[in-house]
Chain A
């Protein structure tokens, strides 16, 4: 798929020769490596630590939490074609609808910045959804919700929950990159949509 399309161009709806196309072509290295980042995460050479289904399920969740239905559908199409994908897609979308909120919120280390602490929702996936998703993916979605909305609440205890659910250290690194990359991709797309419409 990525032999033929640039994912950010596709998500923005950039056509060849348009002003937005010229803006992207002006920074060919950024464009090339944003695409290579996508390929590294979503067409991985080694999926042993994070399965393709987990990658696309987390992507649907994160993009839907950002309220971007167009991007969520893009990831959802691939998820639906993977094993058990239709069931996962429906569960993940329903969870995102229920738990979308506004960020960033969270807590600072104790000190003067404590005055800026703001509370917000903390996702804890219930037993019924957990039975569909499995403990590994459920833990990944809980962590993805934290990284999306309240990253400053991260802690070693939060990472231990992932390890306890069966994630490896390397798997946590890839998962963290994937959620964080999506935060980037969604915002490049959001910004370019505004510039493309101008």
Chain B
């Protein structure tokens, strides 16, 4: 028998970009915890993710989920050197704002605010969009993330120069590139296999 989708009737779905916590519900059947093998848990990396519909759905293909998660964690959490975490999250938020992923933007704008203490500027990005004026250093990061997130990407030497002029090293520019690029992966998954729900 062929599979069918889930069509959740979400009441009061989130319809604006927000830093508040919101939820997410799947359009395809996640694996139940009783179905998970050791291999699935290994692929989840963080076992608590078995309770997340998003990860319990993605774990249907464990090999790509595990590699994706380890790529994600290193790009964002490996901050012993390179771009500050706040600005990696800013790049992620800008990509999510451009692509239109309300859930991704909520999670990563919250991180950007938490690590930068610039909640009002982060909110301005959410409210006004990717052309909001956030000061030159942040403008340069948002502009680079947006150029890379366009399809096809239009990131060029002028974006790298603007980042350099704003004080970023090549290593930090590489971190902007990876943060923005990764969210072009994350946004497409999050947008296409389920939808945001109100905070629970």
* Interface residues in chain A, defined as those with a beta carbon under 8 Å from any beta carbon in chain B: 19, 23, 26-27, 29-30, 32-34, 36-37, 39-41, 44-45, 49, 65-68, 102-104, 106, 108-113, 116, 146-149, 151-152, 154-160, 163-164, 166-170, 172-174, 176-181, 183-188, 190-192, 194-195, 197-198
Question: Whole-angstrom distance between the alpha carbons of A188 and B150 in the complex?
Answer: 13
CB-CB < 8 A to A186: which residues of B? 152-153
Q: Is A172 a contact of B193 with CB atoms below 8 Å?
A: yes
Chain B residue numbers with a CB within 8 Å of A155 are 27
Docked complex Cα distance between A160 and B6 (Å): 9
In the complex, which residue of chain A has the Cβ closest to the Cβ of B98?
A104
B67 interface neighbour in A37, A49, A152, A183, Cβ under 8 Å: A37
Q: Is the CB of B185 within 8 A of A152?
A: no
Contact between A23 and B181 (Cβ–Cβ < 8 Å)? no
B101, B174, B186, B188 interface centre (most CB from chain A within 10 Å): B188
A160 to B192, CA, bound (A): 12
- Please indicate the chain B residues that have their CB under 8 angstroms from the CB of A109 in the complex: 13-15, 102
> Which residues of B sit under 8 angstroms from A178, Cβ to Cβ?
64
Complex CA distance for A179 and B184, rounded to whole angstroms: 10
A34-B71, A104-B98, A151-B99 known; A177 and B148 CB under 8 Å? no
- A116 touching B129 in the complex, CB below 8 Å, given contacts A149-B151, A187-B148: yes
Whether a CB of chain A sits under 8 angstroms from the CB of B189 is yes
- Given contacts A147-B192, A194-B156, A169 and B60 within 8 Å (CB-CB): yes
Lowest 8 A-B CB distances belong to which pairs? A111-B15, A191-B177, A152-B100, A187-B181, A154-B192, A40-B63, A184-B185, A103-B151
CB-nearest residue of chain B relative to A177? B64
Say yes or no: B64 contacts A181, CB within 8 Å: yes
Instruction: Give chain B's interface secondary structure class.
Output: helix
Contact A29 B155 (CB under 8 A): no
CB neighbors of A among B121-170 (8 A): 129, 148-153, 155-157, 159-160, 170
Residues of B that sit less than 8 Å from A by CB: 2-7, 13-17, 27-29, 57-58, 60-61, 63-68, 70-71, 74-75, 78, 81-82, 98-102, 129, 148-153, 155-157, 159-160, 170-171, 173-174, 176-178, 180-182, 184-189, 191-193
Q: How far is the CA of A112 from the CA of B2 in the complex (A)?
A: 38
CA distance A41 to B63 in the complex (A): 8
A197 to B187, CA, bound (A): 29
- Indicate if the CB atoms of A104 and B151 lie closer than 8 Å: yes
